[in-house]
Structure formats: C-alpha cells, structure tokens
Structure 1
Amino acid sequence: MDQEPPLVREVFPELVDELAQLLEEEGERELAICVRDVRMVGECGCGGDFCQSIRTADHPDGQPYGPGHRCVPLVPADGMLILDVVDGRIMYIEILERPPLRRRVQP
C-alpha cells in the first residue's frame, strides 16, 4: 500500500498560514480553505537557488494544464507566490525569490 504524500501544512506550516491569509485578502475564500489540505507531491526540481516551488498534484512535466486552468498570483511581503489552479484544485505552488522555507521538525 502506497503512503500518501505529507500535507504541505505538516512540512511548511508557516507557508500554508501565509497562503491562506493572502488568498483571503484576494477574495479567494475557497482556495484559502483548500490550501490547508494540499499534499506535497514533490519539489520543483529545476535546481535554481531562487526556486522552492512545490508540486501538489501529479502532472506531466512540460505539459499545459489545459481547460479550467488559471494562475492566482499573490502579493507576499517577500518574493513571489503564484498558484496554478485547475477546476478549483491547487496543482502547483510557485515559490520564487524568497528566504529559505523552514521545514517543521518531525518528532
């Protein structure tokens, strides 16, 4: 039986709190609720030291998301946060030009 990927809030709780607050400020109430339940499927893997992006759903690399896709740019105090959303589901959290994320220490 495959183990589910961890919730992003379990790994990066401060990031999820910030995303929820910024989404509320943008009037994206449903996404503000949904962001608390996204899973960390993988890291971007681009190798850029400016990028800490997170994949929250499986998607083929280099392929467009297709119909129902929209970008939700947010306005954080530092760097850039942009969500890729398909039919109300957060697929990707783009995290650029920000201080290193702090992982929650697991017991």
Structure 2
Amino acid sequence: MRAVHPELIEELAALLEAEGERELAICVWDVRLVGACGCGDDFCQSIRTAEHPQGQPYGPGHRCVPLPPSSGDLILDVVNGRIVYIEILGRPPLPRRAQPEQGSPGAGQQVDLPV
C-alpha cells in the first residue's frame, strides 16, 4: 500500500508512534491494499488491508485504534497485532500514485484515482 498511498502510510506511522503504538507503526509500512470499503458514502475512503467477510465481527483479538489526525477521522481495526482495516472518514481525497509497469516512462508520477 505504501507504493499507492505513501503520504497516508507516513501519516499513520507518525500518528501511531505518537500514540505509543510502536509495533503498529512498524507494521503499517507493510500493509496490503486489498480493496476499498465499498459502502458508497462520499465521506468514506476506508481501505481493507486483509480479507474479511462483510458484516461479520472480527472476533477475539480485535481492537480499534483511533488516531488523532489533523483532519477527519483515522481508525484502525487490528486483529492479533495485524492492521486489517483503515477507516478514513471526512478527509480530503487521497492522492494515489500509479503503479507503473517496470521500465515504463513516468514511473512514480502521482495521479488521482479512486481507492
């Protein structure tokens, strides 16, 4: 996910460090982009970082980690120390970096795409 949303990952890592969540601050650099929330709400840009059946509770080992961003809401769902969902609400649209094919020109150019 850091290749697609590096600014978000940097912000999450800094916020997690500030909240004393050192292990999660390290883990956030390696979360996968599994998919968008899919709720369709215009204020939601939440990201699934692990497969999970929709509408099912996470079960034992789950905890929520609310973070204090400068705008909107960032809340992580964590199961057994693994970030499985990043709730992103009420924030400006996330810039998304294109993932260019290896050797293609323009690698690393930033483009705005839906999550």
Normalising by structure 1, we get a TM-score of: 0.92
1:83-98 to structure 2, matched below 5 A, reads 83-98=76-91
| Residue from 32, 38, 53 that aligns with 1:39 | 32
Q: Which consecutive segments of 4 or more residues in structure 1 shift more than 2 A? A: none
Larger of the two Rg values belongs to structure: 2
Partners of 1:24 and 1:53 in 2: CA distance: 21
RMSD: 0.6
How many residues were matched structurally? 100
Q: In proportion to residue count, which structure has more helix?
A: 1
Partners of 1:77 and 1:95 in 2: CA distance: 12
Partners of 2:33 and 2:81 in 1: CA distance: 17
Q: What residue number does 1:56 align with? A: 49
Q: Shift in Å at residue 104 of structure 1?
A: 1.2
1:87 is aligned with what amino acid? N
What's the secondary structure of 1:20's corresponding residue? helix
Q: What residue number does 1:27 align with? A: 20
What runs of 5+ residues in structure 1 fail to find an aligned partner? 1-7
What runs of 5+ residues in structure 2 fail to find an aligned partner? 100-106, 108-115
| Residue from 61, 68, 82 that aligns with 1:75 | 68
Partners of 1:70 and 1:98 in 2: CA distance: 23
